[in-house]
Amino acid sequence: MILPRELFGVLGVVDLLVGWSLGWFVYRSRPRSEQNRALALYLVFVSSHFGLRFGVSFFATDPTYVFALIITGMFFAAGHVISYPWLLSTLDTPLARPLRSKWFWMSWGSAMLLWFTSPLWAPGLHVTALVPSEAVPGAFWTELGPLGRTEPMIPFLISTYGIVVAVTAAFRARSPVVRRQMQAFAAAFVLNDLIYVVNVIVAVPEVFTGHVLDSDWALIRLNFLVAVLLLCLVLAYGVIQTHLFDIDLRIKRGIRRSTVAAVFVAAFFVVSELVAGLLSERIGLIAGVFATGALVFALAPLQSFAERVSDKAMPGVRDNEEYRTVRKRDVYLAALEGALVDGIVNDRERDMLVRLQDQLGLSATEARELERASAV
């Protein structure tokens, strides 16, 4: 299997752009919230770790530059595994309490900094050499020492712990919005963890001995880049749904439209390929166009099918006034809880709440009732 190195480079750049953009958005939305600060930092570190190390480094052809980008990515890896427990420590669950100890941070932070900077002070323990790749022409793999071989287990273990913490936090959440946010966090960590399982346990059992096939290394790097992108997007959904009351409605509409579009594309592809195989490529193309045109007459049943698909995917989301009213109140309560995280609402936060009240169409009476309910 031969893969173009540009594919890895582009995915690395996408990871960087998505991670940094979402990090900035999360931080700017509530800069005084410790959870938002921790999540913003985590998004920046995790996207930079994998984006530079397994993505952007593939654009370089000089081994010196490749090594420099990999080492830079490993500095971000230290930030990744340090900021992740900080994010978990902000969740409302007893399982997060050990992560708030200063002794934990002193020991964990020191150990991770030493671990991920080991290529500088003990090269033979982590990255021993760069070797050309056959599966990705023009790219280089890192030849790993003892620390490098066991390194993937660190984010795997803390991510597994994160699943448990996020799930328990979801059960303890007081408001529906925070509960759905914690569920999105748990889903993101589960998704990320599954890819780690495939990479570390199933796909490459040789990782602990260092005898990994060249093609396996390519799949590992590709999986990591895709995993980070999915992780960022699912975490972003968990954050954005506390800011946009109709985000679920927008996603559901998108599912309906994409289902209809997928049916049209599939019909064109199947008919054109089938006819081309029997007759000719040109006639197959014409037949595909006619097949998709014929689907216009079946648009109503297709839309009904797409509606059922979207209902199955998001059964609790309904495009009606009752659902919108509940979501508006939930979003305002989530913003209020974020503003009250330190016990006071300053002038800037009050202005933000007033603007949000206007955007959601809540009356002053409704807003006061929600604030009284939140204070109880």
In this prediction, residue 317 carries a pLDDT of 57
Domain end point (choices 268, 292, 313): 313
Do residue 210 and residue 352 come from a single domain? no
Q: What is the rounded CA–CA span in Å between residue 165 and residue 69?
A: 33
Of 105, 204, 113, 110, the C-alpha closest to 156 is 204
Q: What percent of the chain has pLDDT over 90?
A: 4
Do residue 54 and residue 167 come from a single domain? yes
Q: What is the rounded CA–CA span in Å between residue 27 and residue 133?
A: 39
Do residue 97 and residue 172 come from a single domain? yes
Tokens of 218: 């390519």
235 has a pLDDT exceeding 90: no
What pLDDT, in 10s, does the model give residues 314-356?
Answer: 555 555 566 566 666 766 666 666 665 555 666 666 676 676 6
Do residue 31 and residue 173 come from a single domain? yes
29 vs 95 pLDDT, higher one: 95
In this prediction, residue 6 carries a pLDDT of 84
Q: Could you tell me if 186 and 194 are in contact, meaning their C-beta atoms sit under 8 angstroms apart? A: no
137 has a pLDDT exceeding 80: yes
Q: What is the rounded CA–CA span in Å between residue 93 and residue 182?
A: 11
Domain end point (choices 224, 243, 262): 243
Give the 3-state secondary structure of the chain.
CCCCHHHHHHHHHHHHHHHHHHHHHHHHHCCCCHHHHHHHHHHHHHHHHHHHHHCHHHHCCCHHHHHHHHHHHHHHHHHHHHHHHHHHHCCCCHHHHHHHCHHHHHHHHHHHHHHHCHHHHCHHHCEEEEEECCCCCCCEEEEECHHHHHCCHHHHHHHHHHHHHHHHHHHHCCCHHHHHHHHHHHHHHHHHHHHHHHHHHHHCHHHHCCCCCHHHHHHHHHHHHHHHHHHHHHHHHHHHCCCCCCHHHHHHHHHHHHHHHHHHHHHHHHHHHHHHHHCCHHHHHHHHHHHHHHHHHHHHHHHHHHHHHHHHHCCCCCCCHHHHHHHHHHHHHHHHHHHHHHCCCCHHHHHHHHHHHHHHCCCHHHHHHHHHHHHC
Tokens of 88: 């978990």
Do residue 18 and residue 151 come from a single domain? yes
Domain end point (choices 220, 243, 266): 243
The residue whose two tokens read 């799949």 is 219
What confidence category does residue 189 fall into, taking pLDDT thresholds of 50, 70 and 90? confident
What pLDDT, in 10s, does the model give residues 41-59?
Answer: 999 999 999 999 888 988 8
Do residue 48 and residue 14 come from a single domain? yes
Do residue 209 and residue 305 come from a single domain? no
Tokens of 260: 């209809």
361 has a pLDDT exceeding 80: no
What confidence category does residue 224 fall into, taking pLDDT thresholds of 50, 70 and 90? confident
The arithmetic mean of pLDDT across residues 202-224, rounded, is 66
Do residue 305 and residue 366 come from a single domain? no
pTM above 0.85, yes or no: no
CATH number, residue 108? 1.20.1070
The residue whose two tokens read 């790993």 is 144
Q: Which amino acid is at 10?
A: V
For 66, 162, 300, the CA distances from 320, given in Å and listed in that order, are 54, 35, 21
Do residue 118 and residue 148 come from a single domain? yes
Phi, psi of 343 (to 5 degrees): 95, -10
Q: What is the rounded CA–CA span in Å between residue 325 and residue 360?
A: 9
What number of other Cβ atoms are within 10 A of residue 54's Cβ?
A: 25
- Domain encompassing residue 279: 250-313
Q: What is the rounded CA–CA span in Å between residue 235 and residue 83?
A: 15
Tokens of 103: 């002794």
What pLDDT, in 10s, does the model give residues 4-42?
Answer: 888 888 889 999 988 898 888 888 777 777 878 888 899
In this prediction, residue 44 carries a pLDDT of 93
Q: What is the rounded CA–CA span in Å between residue 164 and residue 95?
A: 8
Mean pLDDT of the chain: 75
Do residue 133 and residue 226 come from a single domain? yes
Do residue 213 and residue 331 come from a single domain? no
Do residue 211 and residue 268 come from a single domain? no
96 vs 266 pLDDT, higher one: 96
143 has a pLDDT exceeding 80: no
How many folded domains does the chain comprise?
A: 3
What pLDDT, in 10s, does the model give residues 155-172?
Answer: 778 888 888 888 888 787
Residues ≥6 apart with Cβ < 8 Å to 270: none
In this prediction, residue 191 carries a pLDDT of 79
Q: What is the rounded CA–CA span in Å between residue 206 and residue 204?
A: 5
Of 51-55, 121-125, 128-132, 344-348, minimum mean pLDDT range: 344-348
Residues ≥6 apart with Cβ < 8 Å to 340: 374
What pLDDT, in 10s, does the model give residues 65-82?
Answer: 888 888 888 889 889 889
In this prediction, residue 245 carries a pLDDT of 46
Q: Which amino acid is at 220?
A: I
